[in-house]
Amino acid sequence: MFALNAHIAGRVCGPSANGAHPKVPVGPCMIEAHEGVVSIIWVQGDEEASIVISIMEFEDYVQNRDIRILP
């Protein structure tokens, strides 16, 4: 598993734990990769929210600059 700081810059969405497909808001997030999937975690109000996508989806979002990995 690895974790990265990132910034959402475009349209990113995927399934959440409750089955909804929320759009991740533009702004900072944490990326965690493990066992072939990527979790995108962000703070919304006072709560943490997350979605899980495949590594292929993640790579597409990065290539399209919808997700920008921070140094």
DSSP string, 23-67: BPPSEEEEEEEETTEEEEEEEETTEEEEEEEEHHHHHHHHHTTSE
What pLDDT does residue 16 have? 73
pLDDT per residue as tens digits for the range 20-38:
778 899 999 999 999 989 9
At 17, the pLDDT band (50, 70, 90 cuts) reads: confident
pTM: 0.90
Rg (CA), the chain: 11
What pLDDT does residue 1 have? 82
By percentage, how much of the chain surpasses pLDDT 90? Answer: 77
What pLDDT does residue 6 have? 98
What is the greatest pairwise CA distance in the chain? Answer: 32
What residue segments make up the domains of the chain, in order of their start?
2-69
Q: Is the distance from CB of 55 to CB of 38 less than 8 angstroms?
A: yes
DSSP 8-class letter at 13 = B
